[in-house]
Chains A and B, each alone.
Chain A
Amino acid sequence: EAQVTQNPRYLITVTGKKLTVTCSQNMNHEYMSWYRQDPGLGLRQIYYSMNVEVTDKGDVPEGYKVSRKEKRNFPLILESPSPNQTSLYFCASARQGAGYEQYFGPGTRLTVT
């Protein structure tokens, strides 16, 4: 089954404790992206990657890091999480030339206390 997977799906952590949210896709998509969704603010892009070893900032990159060492994986790293990073996070992927249609993972609900 073609899909984007994320882990963990739910995470409660404390301020300052480094964490990684994994994202993997099995569709051989070149493009991957991370979004956060907050009430009243909608979906906002954090980082994106056009291909392996190619990443760039989105609209709200502060406090986040990413890496793209393999085509299928695009982890999101929070080096020192803060309460304002409490949010619902989505990973998405798209195939190059496919009309830029993005497909989303199931989401990770992160709470930072």
Chain B
Amino acid sequence: QKEVEQNSGPLSVPEGAIASLNCTYSDRVSQSFFWYRQYSGKSPELIMSIYSNGDKEDGRFTAQLNKASQYVSLLIRDSQPSDSATYLCAVNYRNDYKLSFGAGTTVTVRA
């Protein structure tokens, strides 16, 4: 059973702080990793994708991938109230289009 697990929330951070989200996956042959942001009642929105070990930065978001340890993380710097959402980790297992999703971590940024 392929699994994607995320740290349980909710995660509450003060405005301006760093929010750190973690995700572990169970299959060593996983190739592609994604972070989606989902506002309540809305559809998932792709915010980061990462394919190789190391860090990838996009604006206030940084994704970190460590395939040896089978984890991927997302850092949100200078958190804003608009970052309050559920963040979904998704893993592509067979180098095709099938994605497996984690249950999500809800982030609340308090002003």
Contact = CB atoms under 8 A, between A and B. Distances in A.
B43 interface: yes
B80 interface: no
Nearest to A107: B43
A94 B97 contact: yes
Interface stretch (B20-28, B56-64, B99-107): B99-107
Contacts of A40: 103
Main secondary structure of the interface of A (DSSP, over half): strand
Contact residues on A (Cβ < 8 Å of other chain), bracket: 20 to 34
A104 B43 CA distance: 6
Contacts of A61: none
B102 A42 contact: yes
A101 interface: yes
A33 B32 CA distance: 17
B88 A103 contact: no
B97 A99 contact: no
Interface stretch (A13-21, A43-51, A66-74, A75-83): A43-51
